[in-house]
Amino acid sequence: MIVDLNEEQKAFQASVRDYMKNVMMTDDFKAELDTPDLSHGGGPVYWEKMRQLGQDGWIRLSWPKELGGAGADPVQQYILVDEAKRVGFPWPSLSANSIGPVLARHAQDAIRDKVVNEILNGEAYLAIGYSEPEAGSDLASLKTRAERDGDDWVINGQKIWTSCANFAQYIWLAARTDPDPKSRHRGITIFLVPTDSEGFSCTLIETLGVLTTATYYDQVRIPDRYRVGEVNGGWPLITGQLNIERLALVNYGHVAKLYDQTLSLLQSDPNFSPLLEESWVQDSLAYAHSRLEVLKTLCLKAAWKMEQGESGMVEASATKVYGSEVYIELGRRMSEILGAAANVAQGSSMVLNGIAEKWYRKGTVHTFGGGANELQRTIVANAGLGLPR
């Protein structure tokens, strides 16, 4: 048994870490990401970095070779995203890793090469248009309609939580093409909607933590070549989301950040270091460390299983639940150590660039986003423990 990366993987990790820190997270980019409206990307430096990421081959790294990628294995893919998130780089997981390869497999020839190249070169972002005001976890109840009109489709409806749509070039849209209520799952088709289409609009939704959008489709007319996959064949494209992506939501580097930074503050800042002598502080640090070490092993193990050709579905779901709940609990414990300074959003008493304050506001999304934890537990119960449906 070897519970660690091998030498080659460690060297890869070091090279990614170096690249992310020195090439991607330059001061001008950090400053841009500190601007609230651009904290997810979409600013001029963001697009500069994305194009460079593409040119340097990082986006295509994990794509299968037959789709123009470098065919990296799940462990390398995990390391890449882990390192990117560790330094706060807004890695385009959904667009580049989750949706991109599905698009490359199922898009029509007329648009495939163009869009694939745009993604791989860091020139395009695909926002996901699944959720609607009345369709969340029960996605098959979505109502946005697409109707055939000659060679075109005409789309009407509304999507919500369409994150990054404010700077995306395309919406990866799930729309109903068969209104018969008996064919809930079988009546859905995927379309790629260019965001410069007439009738498309987008409004920002300011949430407690992150910026997201609502998107509106008012008689949006797109040619049939923007349909992806078969008519009424969208459901498998939606559920085929890779388990490695679920893992990426709570990977170690991302969840460990607050603990790492709190500990180094306690070790280095004379205003905070007396706290390190307090037993309750030591206990909370130990609690955090014991949880994070296990998260690290769980993530590596799930990626290893996928590398061995297993689906890793149960592992990914269990790790997502665990990691997201650790995220919340450590947000509390580390903030307890930092005290009132953890709640300063602006001002000279802010510590650690406000990470604890942001952590609290952004944290809840982890337990319901990317598949609510209740649904992940149901997957664990059914597929992992064999409990009846």
Partner 1 sequence: MNFSLSETQQQAQELATQILSDATSPAQLAQFDKTGYFDRSLWQSLADAGLLGIAIGEEHGGMGLDFETLCVFLEAAGQHAAPVPLLSVLVDGALLLQAFSPVISASILPSIVSGEKLLTSDLQSNVSVFTAQESNESEVLLNGKSGIVALGNDADFCLLKAELNQQTIIVLADLTQSQCSRELQVLTTGEHAATLTLDNLPARLIASGTEAEAFLSLATRYSQTAGAAYAVGIAESMIKQASTYTADRKQFGKAIGSFQAVQQQLANTYIDKQCLRAASEKAIYELSLDDTSDSSREAALIANIWLGDALHNISHTTQHVHGGMGVDRDYGLFRYCTAARDLELRYSSSARAISELGSLIRARQP
Active site residues: 245
Q: Tell me, what amino acid is at 157?
A: G
Cβ proximity to partner 1, 211 vs 318, nearer residue: 318
CB of 314 to partner 1, least distance (A): 8
CA angle (210 as vertex; 379, 258 as ends), nearest 5: 75
Q: Min. distance of Cβ 275 from partner 1 in angstroms? A: 10
Cα–Cα separations (whole angstroms), residue 307 to 184, 219, 324: 34, 45, 23
H or E segment to which residue 145 belongs: strand 145-149
**CA atoms of 309 and 117, how far apart (whole Å):** 28
Contacts of 227 (CB under 8 A, 6+ apart): 108, 153, 189, 190, 191
**Token pair in block for residue 141:** 């109840």
Which amino acid would we find at residue 196?
D
Listed as own residue / partner, the contacts of 369-372 with beta carbons closer than 8 Å and 24 or more positions apart are 369/249, 370/245, 370/246, 370/249, 370/320, 371/246, 371/317, 371/320, 372/137
Q: Are 185 and 138 in contact (CB under 8 A)?
A: no
Q: What gap in Å lies between CA 157 and CA 376, rounded to an integer?
A: 29
Q: Is-contact 212 244, C-beta < 8 A?
A: no
The Cα 101–Cα 123 span in angstroms is 16
Q: Which helix (H) or strand (E) holds 156?
A: strand 152-160
- The nearest distance, CB 302 to partner 1, in angstroms, is 10
Minimum CB separation of residue 379 from partner 1 in Å reads 8
Query: Which string of DSSP letters, residue by residue, matches 309-345?
Result: T---HHHHHHHHHHHHHHHHHHHHHHHHHHGGGGG-S
Q: How far is the CB of 15 from partner 1 (least distance, A)?
A: 18
Least distance (Å) between residue 305 CB and partner 1: 8
Nearer to partner 1, 271 or 348 (CB): 271
- Non-local CB neighbours of 179 within 8 Å, separated by 6+ positions: 145, 187
Beta carbons of 193 and 222 less than 8 angstroms apart = yes
C-alpha Rg value of the chain to the nearest Å: 22
Rule CB under 8 A: which residues touch partner 1?
1-6, 9, 75, 263-264, 267-268, 276-277, 279, 281-287, 289-290, 293-294, 297-298, 300-301, 304-305, 315, 318, 321-322, 374, 376-378, 380-382, 384-389
Give the residues across from 188 on adjacent strands. 176
Q: Quote the least distance from Cβ 137 to partner 1, whole Å.
A: 13
